[in-house]
Amino acid sequence: AMLLVTARELELALCGTPTLDLDEWKKHTVYKGAFANDRAEHPVTRAFWQVVERWDDERRARLLQWTTGSARLPVGGFAQLQQRDGVSRCFCLTSIPVSQATYPRAHTCFNRIDLPLYDRPANEMPRALEFVITNATAEFSMD
């Protein structure tokens, strides 16, 4: 029997799960907002990367897909990520007040994740990231 799957699940099924180089991913990440100065050492971004480090390739691919619209990287890797119109656009982590978003938000057109400024990021980030990649759908909003 054929099961109904999303386009994202179909891409992973047809193309397989890529192996994503976490060091390259970090190297080619842009940090904005409250993360601009401390970058990967900000408590929220540190919690984000700790979660991603613990994940297997399938979960990492789902995160990449949730963020960029594709579970695969271009030939040049993270350094060559592009917007939908072909303009080069690195993976980006930016801050957002918890009052504006309880969970991380992805902006696939910009390869960006808005991470809430959690009070206890080491406790809250694992649950929040798991929720968004598990419940991500092909639905889009304009916010």
The larger pLDDT score, comparing residue 64 to residue 141, is at: 64
| Full-model pTM | 0.83
Q: Which residues are marked as active site?
A: 109
Asked if residue 31 lies in contact with residue 40, where contact means CB atoms within 8 angstroms, the answer is yes
pLDDT at residue 126, rounded to an integer: 97
What pLDDT, on the 0 to 100 scale, is given for residue 100?
96
15-19, 44-48, 75-79: which has the highest mean pLDDT? Answer: 44-48
Cα(51)–Cα(62) distance, integer angstroms:
13
3-class SS of residue 107 = strand
Is a pLDDT exceeding 70 seen at residue 6? no
Of the candidates 23, 29, 12, the one whose C-alpha atom is nearest the C-alpha of residue 90 is 29
Percent of the chain with pLDDT over 90: 62
Strand ordering across the sheet containing 112-116: 29-32, 91-96, 112-116, 105-107
